[in-house]
Amino acid sequence: MGIGGCIILIAAGGILTFATDWHAKGVNTDVVGLIMMAVGIVGLAAYVSIFKRRRIPPTADGDVPPVVEERYYPGPRY
- The per-residue pLDDT for 78 is 63
Q: Where are the domains of the chain?
A: 3-55
Per DSSP (E only), the strands in 1-78 are none
- The per-residue pLDDT for 21 is 87
Asked whether the beta carbons of 36 and 20 are under 8 A apart, the reply is no
Spatial separation of the C-alpha atoms in residues 54 and 64, rounded to whole Å:
17
Per-residue pLDDT of the chain (78 residues; tens, 9 = 90+): 788 999 999 999 999 999 988 888 899 999 999 999 999 999 999 988 887 666 556 565 656 666 788 887 777 766
